[in-house]
Amino acid sequence: MLVGAIASGALAGASFLVVRHTRLQDSLERDLQRSETSFLIATLSLERAHNRDAVNGLLATYRRAPGFDVLLTFDRGARATKRRFADSSIIPQPLARAVGTTDFEYERTELENKPYVVVGRAVEGTTIKVFFLFPEGPIQRQISQLGTVLFTGWLILAAASGLIGVLLSRQMLTPVSRASVAARSLAEGLLDTRLPVETKDEFGTLAQSFNEMAQALQEKIAELSDARERERRFTANVAHELRTPVAALVSEASLVRDQLDEIPAEFRRPVQLLVGDVTRLRQLLEDLMEISLFDAGRQTVEVDEVDGPTLIRSLLRRRGWVQSVRLDVQPVILRTDRRRLERVISNLVSNAIKYGQVDIVVRVRKTNDKALIEVSDRGPGILPEHLPNVFDRFFKADPSRTGSGTGLGLSIVHENVRVLDGAITVQSEVGHGSTFTVALPLHTPAVYLAAPDAGQRPGLHHRDAV
């Protein structure tokens, strides 16, 4: 069908071009012939005398000839069969220069916005040049009419053949194509997609089983997402309820910690432990809060220009890690969320310090459209069977190590990398250490979310200054 449309289109186009060319050529030859005879009159009448009377006579003769106008140019000034053409500047410059006594020169041009063929030649023995002005408007009009007719015909033909093709194929493909469309929309997440069961043949059976499968899938997914949603809400609620008492604990512990000397010696150690555990509890809660924000889909991405190496250096300095980490960084500028990038690097480095301990290196490389950030250590490494789980929540490769980690650090890294449109991979060899590689796009799009409870808070929409 498409082939037919293209072929007929090409045929129509080609024939149009051929006709156009021959018609224009014909008309030009006719113009040149008429110029030749008319020019003869000019040479004859001007040979005798080229004064005012001779010129007037000549123009009078020309005025009687139909279908064209004549312009005579002299050293100074010009005369024409029509007053409005009596101006030598209407002749295109290249033509005016090219005109000589031996042969005719011509050029297609526009006079008063209409297409003309101008043919010119100089009269021997004088400075007079004769220009014949043949209007080409009628012939051009004919040609464009022809083009319209051909194009319209082609359109009708193409549309008709297309319609026939569609009608034919639809009749043949209906059940199969419907099933494929349905499968695709199911795959795209429209879980309530069903097929109509119309016939008793194999198509009917297909539709029946398709619907059963879709039903089962829908129920299973609903079940799973309900459970996930319950778990998510529980995490968020726990974190939320813990917030206030933990905030109080942190403030209280900070006061006690600064007055350790005043506490009787035998209680000093328990108080120290208490203060340390409050810090751990605080860290765990902050991690939980962050994870529950990811679960709720409430992450904004605030994009800013970030100088990679500078960010890493300042982070290491602030966390007191300068001594324990070696840097190998290439300059790279990213447009990304500064806070999230810091979180990613800080969690990876703190993880490396906790578990890898030795030879920690942070590497930064730049490719065409990505920044690669690598954190490696030469610690004990991760067992191959544990590798797929390292980004899971509360996963600890060695359950006996109840140390300082919350078990959420790497899942937070994973979530942050995800919202930054990046990817994270881990390579590890037992006894040789681990390498985490984060690939981030140089440009991460910003994501702004309205506060979900914005409507209830009087202040949130208030945008005026005080």
Q: Which is nearer to other proteins, 258 or 398 (CB)?
A: 258
| Cα 82 to Cα 71: distance, rounded to the nearest angstrom | 8
Amino acid at 132: F
DSSP alpha helices (H): ranges in 300-408?
308-319, 338-351
3-state helix, strand, coil in the chain (%, to 5): 55, 15, 25
- Which is nearest to 397 in space by CA: 362, 437, 354? 354
Quick count: other Cβ atoms within 10 Å of Cβ 155?
A: 14
Residue 49 near other proteins by CB under 8 A: no
Residues facing residue 117 across a β-bridge:
108, 134
Q: Which is nearer to other proteins, 163 or 322 (CB)?
A: 322
Q: In the bound complex, what is the minimum distance in angstroms from residue 234's beta carbon to other proteins?
A: 17
Residue 447 near other proteins by CB under 8 A: no
105, 35 contact by CB (below 8 A): no
Residue 451 near other proteins by CB under 8 A: yes
Residue from 51, 89, 244, 323 in contact with other proteins (CB under 8 A): 244
Stretch that binds other proteins, among 19-27, 78-86, 286-294, 323-331 (CB under 8 A): 286-294
- Three-state SS letters, 138-166: HHHHHHHHHHHHHHHHHHHHHHHHHHHHH
Residue 223 near other proteins by CB under 8 A: no
Stretch that binds other proteins, among 6-14, 50-58, 193-201, 289-297 (CB under 8 A): 289-297
Q: In the bound complex, what is the minimum distance in angstroms from residue 362's beta carbon to other proteins?
A: 19
Chain length of the chain: 466
Residue from 9, 263, 272, 286 in contact with other proteins (CB under 8 A): 286
Residue 111 near other proteins by CB under 8 A: no
Residue from 44, 160, 383, 454 in contact with other proteins (CB under 8 A): 454
Q: Which is nearer to other proteins, 237 or 251 (CB)?
A: 251
Q: In the bound complex, what is the minimum distance in angstroms from residue 251's beta carbon to other proteins?
A: 5
373, 461 contact by CB (below 8 A): no
CA 446 vs CA 302, 304, 337, 430: distances in Å: 6, 9, 8, 39
Q: Is the dihedral of CA 261, 266, 267, 271 positive or negative?
A: positive
DSSP alpha helices (H): ranges in 320-392?
338-351
Residue 293 near other proteins by CB under 8 A: yes
Residue from 143, 155, 289, 423 in contact with other proteins (CB under 8 A): 289
Q: In the bound complex, what is the minimum distance in angstroms from residue 404's beta carbon to other proteins?
A: 18
Tell the burial category of 67 from Cβ atoms under 10 Å away from its Cβ (0-12, 13-18, 19+): exposed
Stretch that binds other proteins, among 36-44, 163-171, 227-235, 243-251 (CB under 8 A): 243-251
460, 353 contact by CB (below 8 A): no
In order, the DSSP letters of 90-118 are: GS-HHHHHH--SSS-EEEEEEETTEEEEE
Residue from 54, 65, 246, 426 in contact with other proteins (CB under 8 A): 246
Binding residues for other proteins restricted to 249-268, rule: CB under 8 A: 249-255, 258
Stretch that binds other proteins, among 37-45, 167-175, 358-366, 455-463 (CB under 8 A): 455-463
Token pair listed for 10: 């090409």
Q: Which is nearer to other proteins, 149 or 247 (CB)?
A: 247
How many residues lie near other proteins (CB under 8 A)? 37
- Which is nearest to 319 in space by CA: 337, 343, 336, 341? 343
Binding residues for other proteins restricted to 298-337, rule: CB under 8 A: 300, 304-305, 318
Residue 339 near other proteins by CB under 8 A: yes
Q: In the bound complex, what is the minimum distance in angstroms from residue 227's beta carbon to other proteins?
A: 24
Residue 462 near other proteins by CB under 8 A: yes
Can you tell me which residue has the tokens 């009687």?
A: 64
Q: Which is nearer to other proteins, 338 or 366 (CB)?
A: 338
Stretch that binds other proteins, among 55-63, 151-159, 244-252, 361-369 (CB under 8 A): 244-252
Token pair listed for 196: 């109509």
Q: In the bound complex, what is the minimum distance in angstroms from residue 329's beta carbon to other proteins?
A: 20
Stretch that binds other proteins, among 32-40, 176-184, 282-290, 368-376 (CB under 8 A): 282-290
Q: In the bound complex, what is the minimum distance in angstroms from residue 153's beta carbon to other proteins?
A: 58
Residue 1 near other proteins by CB under 8 A: no
**Phi, psi of 308, deg, nearest 5:** -50, -65
Residue 297 near other proteins by CB under 8 A: no
Beta strand pairing call for 325-329 and 360-366: parallel
Number of alpha carbons in the 13 Å side-chain half-sphere of residue 135:
11
Residue 235 near other proteins by CB under 8 A: no
Stretch that binds other proteins, among 23-31, 102-110, 197-205, 248-256 (CB under 8 A): 248-256
Q: Which residues bind other proteins (CB under 8 A)?
A: 243-255, 258, 282, 286, 289-290, 293, 300, 304-305, 318, 338-339, 342, 451, 454, 457-460, 462-466
